[in-house]
Amino acid sequence: MLAKSIGYDEKRAAVLDMSARLHDIGKLAVPDVVLLKRGKLTPTETEIIRRHALEGCTMLTDILASAESIMGSGRSSEDQTLRLAAEIALHHHEWWDGSGYPRRLEGEAIPEAARIVAIADTFDELIQTRPYHEAATIDVALLEVMALSGKQFDPKLVIAFKDVIQSIQVAGGADLDTLKGVTRKNTSTLAKANQIIERILKSPEAQYARAKALEPASTTQH
């Protein structure tokens, strides 16, 4: 919704939507005892959590490399999704003021897709019930996002996001059920990853490549 509101066409928004689903795939490398801890994290635990950005980028880059070895570079429609997903995974915790991680990028040096996902991810986190906090209302979550404008988030994107949420509320709030997870599908990070990987492996290009690989090697008569 936010992407479309700032001019993304259907195709570009769809690629971003699919890529964004994998932004936290690196958390698969984080032990549950740390990931689900209710209390305050120790400095060591905080560092472990923060590694998920690099871990996610590495995972997705490796998946892309495997896909390209099967189908060839640029031949799969999923290539673009995986490349963008890796970029988002790496940068979605970079902050507008340069105090984020892992590379402390600042302002527009942060890829736009990651800036969009950062806002949506924080809002989603606020309105969900987690082991370490209760769900916030839509209005409270929106106020918290707006309070981080210019610090954590791109100010222009925050304004656009506010307009999107408020327009949904004015229209009756039907889509807010999805935002709050009532009708959300594929909430598991692993499920999201598997869904995209399965699409790659079941693509016509991948099946053709496997069939060719199984053909008997040709021999030359002398």
Model confidence at 168, pLDDT cuts 50, 70, 90, reads confident
CA–CA gap between residue 194 and residue 188 (Å, rounded)? 10
What distances in angstroms separate CA 111 from CA 104, 106, 199, one per listed residue?
Answer: 12, 10, 26
Angle at 187 between CA 50 and CA 22, to 5 degrees: 50
Of the listed ranges 12-26, 103-117, 205-219, the least confidently predicted one is: 205-219
Domains of the chain: 2-204 (1.10.3210.10)
Instruction: Using the predicted structure, report yes or no on whether residue 20 has a pLDDT greater than 70.
Output: yes
- Model pLDDT, residue 37: 87
Whether the per-residue pLDDT at 71 is higher than 90: the answer is no
Q: Which residues pair with 133 in a beta bridge?
A: 130
How far is C-alpha 1 from the chain's CA centre? 15
Place 74 in a pLDDT band, splitting at 50, 70 and 90: low
Q: Which residue has the higher pLDDT, 179 or 143?
A: 143
98 in Cβ contact with 151 (< 8 Å): no
Paired tokens of 117: 């996902």
For residue 217, what pLDDT band results from cuts at 50, 70 and 90? Answer: very low
- pTM for the complete prediction? 0.79
> Taking the mean position of all CA atoms in its chain, how far away is CA 96?
18
Higher pLDDT, 107 or 210: 107
Higher pLDDT, 129 or 201: 129
Here the tokens at position 22 are: 């994998």
Identify the pLDDT of residue 91.
98
Task: Provide mean pLDDT across the span 162-168.
Answer: 91
